[in-house]
Chains A and B, each alone.
Chain A
Amino acid sequence: MKFLHTAFKNIKAPFEKGGKLEKYNKALTAIDAFETLMFTPEEVTHSGAHIRDGIDLKRTMSTVILAMVPCLLFGMYNAGYQHFLQLGVEASFWEMFQIGLVKVLPLVVVSYGVGLGIEFAFAMYKGHSVEEGYLVTGMLIPLIVPVDIPLWMLAVAVAFAVVFGKEVFGGTGMNILNVALTARAFLFFAYPTFMSGDKIWVHEGMTNDAISGATILGDLAAMKGGLEQLSFTAQDMFIGLIPGSVGETSTLAILIGAVILLLTGIGSWRIMLSAVLGGATMGLIFNAFGSNGLMQLPFWQHMIVGGFAFGVVFMATDPVTAAQTNKGKWIYGFLIGFMAIMIRVFNPAYPEGIMLAILFMNVMAPLIDHYVVEGNIKKRLKRATVKTAVAK
């Protein structure tokens, strides 16, 4: 691979100090981003720890992307499956998958294209290197939108989220709100007709009257009756053969992702576990009353419909926007689960609570950490005062 490495050096040479294109030296940032993608730089330690852990942000981020691949693939298949199911047409696996591929791949391309474009522009303008944060966000966004979302809307949402959700705060590692959810919230409030209702979740649902494609939660919220109207079994919900956003439907695929995140130690088990506990608690409380369909939905089924599982595994665990202390993570996760189910049940206009629950807890996370750290500080001060009191 030496020739590739030399090639990079040759491309960079004219932009470097004294080169012919020195005045365009901002281009180095962009070339560097590609070079470091291909080659871990020759940078060595100087003092302190002379050896370093093999992990870097690229490895961390690519592991998360890997964990999302099952969701992406299943999402592609399910997009076709739901389409043909509603039309009542028999279709082969490949025909189903093809529809998904044609619909979902452009979402991924637009999300990465626009998002990384802005990231590169900011990095070049500010003169720092391109950070990897967007690699995960760019994959998350296509997975949490309806399959038929117009590409220009997606592009606008991505641009808004990256600029106002992240870059204004200083870029990767500095944002307060989860960037992918910021994009989704933007879409939800700016273009509600494309983000909610019973027409948008299945491909061609808006143009073809034969397709209804309401989500389970939407059905339950719209009808005042009980559970008996549900046309999907719990097994469908778990496998993910239900209408919904591209990547959120299959609890099975999400669990595979969760296993990857937990096994590698990259996702926080504290947040995932406590969010599930929080959701279960709220679900059980509602089950005890059970005055409408949503309240009657068994607590464990709450976790396999809608975006709950996806949000808990991939969004709540975003280390930048979550609580940072271990104690804080328990509180943060629990409240996300608790509130997600609460919003679901109490707000029939918007039968999915995980997005708002996570965004709200993103805002609260620094406060949680503040009190956790304050507790540590108090303990230390108390120790010191007890000491002086004894000394006197």
Chain B
Amino acid sequence: MSKDIKIKRGLNIPLKGEAEKVLGTAERSDTFVVRPTDFKNFTPKLLVKEGQEILAGAPLFYNKEYPDVKVGSPVSGQVVEVTRGPKRKILGIKILADKDTRYVEVTPVNATTMSGEDVKKRLLDQCLWAYIKRRPYGTVARPTDKPLAIYVSGFDSAPLAGDCDYILHGKEKEFQAGLDVLKQLTDGKVHLNLHRELNTDAVFKDAKGVQINWLNGPHPAGNVGVQIHHIKPLNKGEVVFTVAAQDVALIGNAFLTGKYDASRLVALGGSSVKSPKYYRTIQGASISTLLAGNVEGDNNRVISGNVLTGTKVGTHGYLGFFSKEVNVIPEGDHAKFFLTDGWAGPGFNKHSASRSYFSWLMPNKKYDLDTNTNGEKRALVVTGEYESVFPMDIYPQHLVKAIMIGDIELMENLGIYEVDDEDFALCEYVCTSKTPVQQVVKEGLALIEKECG
């Protein structure tokens, strides 16, 4: 039974530099890096050594807690470096890629004729399991989980996010095959959530065997956490899976062809990009090839992922495991004089969810925002701010405070199992007191997972 959901509270941040739906060409990257830090609460154990030759789809590392969960190499080539941080924490595995990718090849299969256990085994063997996340916690799914349902968001409402329609256009076969795979993993339903007012590509509209739900409203309507909350809120002890739309197609393709093909379309956007558009590249590719000659200024923040939840990677950084966009915005590491562009100015170029700057008089304006925090960290003073951009029946400020004091029972009562840090991205954005809300929630989730499993 399809559901119609109206999201009222939220915020679309109008940013300059949205990627045009045109495919650009960029040089293929020579080196690739896979970062275990892209996975939350994941302790990596290496399966490769420096100098070792590997094929695309061969496992690079596994999760210490769940050894069956392996992460594969996006390309074939030689492992040239394992970068480590404090306490020898693995930060990245660098691969020097072959000119032509050679794959680990297995027999193509049809998921509809397989049993759930076989599908699961195949996903684990082919290093595809890492694309499946679980709620609670937003971590990689555990092979032991019995999900009540699986949720796929067919649109991304975040600012400057890659457009799922464009990315998956023409991939009907792969996407459907991916959905068929997911169906075998649960006794419940596979939910495909689409936006009522955006264009919806045939790849989503014609999807079969799933429950299509329609959402309407501003960001974070595209966040799968918000969708789950409105379709069937998660209770303590329950587990659901979530998979990003482009990863569903990747899984489907791997089943259909027997190859782990990690290539994808990414949106290159942001106000510092001269000509924002889409590029075909491969997961873990060096971002510098995309940026070459296409970036204005030399003091920029390069983000793998969107501007609200992505990872700062630098101009020589690499595309993240789950990222489907690269955003480049100016760094804001300069002081702002209070009367001109600081707190006392008219603020025509400052975006705010409140109407305290005159920019609210220009509803259609697009903004060129930098990374300045626009103020110092303060005690929480303003109330009702988080609630106005948090479309769930949860008290976000109370939950954040409960996490800050480490009260596990209170966190559970206030609904921590229903949220992921990305759901709090807008709260962090609008916070007058500049509280690092996502970091707080991330720590809260890690604490709960450690204490309650």
Contacts and interface: CB of A to CB of B under 8 A. Distances in A.
11 contacts: A39-B335, A39-B336, A39-B338, A40-B338, A50-B371, A52-B431, A54-B357, A59-B356, A173-B378, A173-B381, A377-B414
A266 B354 contact: yes
Interface centre among A57, A373, A383, A387 (most CB of B within 10 A): A57
Given A49-B428, A50-B327, 6 more contacts: A45-B372, A56-B374, A59-B344, A63-B356, A133-B381, A320-B381
Contact of B307 (A5, A51, A174, A268): A51
A201 to B, nearest CB: 33
A268 B224 CA distance: 31
A44 B331 contact: yes
Contacts of A377: 413-414
A42 B337 contact: no
A381 B413 contact: yes
A168 interface: no
A387 B395 CA distance: 22
A37 B338 contact: yes
B195 to A, nearest CB: 22
A319 B371 contact: no
Contacts of B116: none
A40 B336 contact: yes
B372 A172 contact: no
Contact of A39 (B238, B337, B357, B371): B337
A172 B375 CA distance: 16
B376 A129 contact: yes
Instruction: Please list the 3 inter-chain residue pairs (A to B) with the smallest Cβ-Cβ separation, ordered nearest first.
Output: A56-B375, A54-B350, A173-B379
Contact of A50 (B308, B351, B415, B430): B308
A265 B382 CA distance: 11
Interface residues of A, number: 60
Nearest to A262: B355
A266 B354 CA distance: 7
A373 B414 contact: yes
B336 A57 contact: no
B23 interface: no
A50 B312 contact: yes
Interface stretch (A138-146, A275-283, A321-329): A321-329
A45 B435 CA distance: 11
A319 B337 CA distance: 28
A39 B357 CA distance: 17
A380 B307 contact: no
B376 A53 contact: no
Interface of A: 1, 4-5, 36-60, 62-63, 129, 131-133, 170-174, 263-266, 268, 319-320, 322, 324-326, 329, 373, 376-377, 379-381, 383-384, 387
Contact of B395 (A42, A43, A57, A325): A325
A60 to B, nearest CB: 6
Contacts of A42: 332-335, 372
B398 interface: yes
Interface in B312-348: 312, 327, 329, 331-338, 340-344, 347
Interface of B: 13, 15, 233, 235-238, 301, 303, 307-312, 327, 329, 331-338, 340-344, 347, 350-357, 359, 369-376, 378-384, 387, 393-395, 397-398, 413-415, 421, 425-426, 428-434, 436-439
A51 B383 contact: no
A264 B343 contact: no
Contacts of B238: 387
A293 B342 CA distance: 52
A48 B356 contact: no
Contacts of B436: 47-48
A136 to B, nearest CB: 10
Contact of B374 (A52, A172, A263): A52
Interface centre among B307, B343, B379, B433 (most CB of A within 10 A): B343
A376 B375 contact: no
A373 B398 CA distance: 8
Interface centre among B327, B340, B356, B369 (most CB of A within 10 A): B356
Contacts of A40: 335-336, 338, 341-343, 372, 374-375
A383 B238 CA distance: 12
B424 to A, nearest CB: 9
Given A50-B303, A53-B353, A62 B428 contact: no
Contact of B352 (A36, A38, A54): A54
B137 to A, nearest CB: 17
Contact of B376 (A5, A36, A266): A36
A53 B384 contact: no
A319 B338 CA distance: 25
B335 A41 contact: yes
Contacts of B426: 49
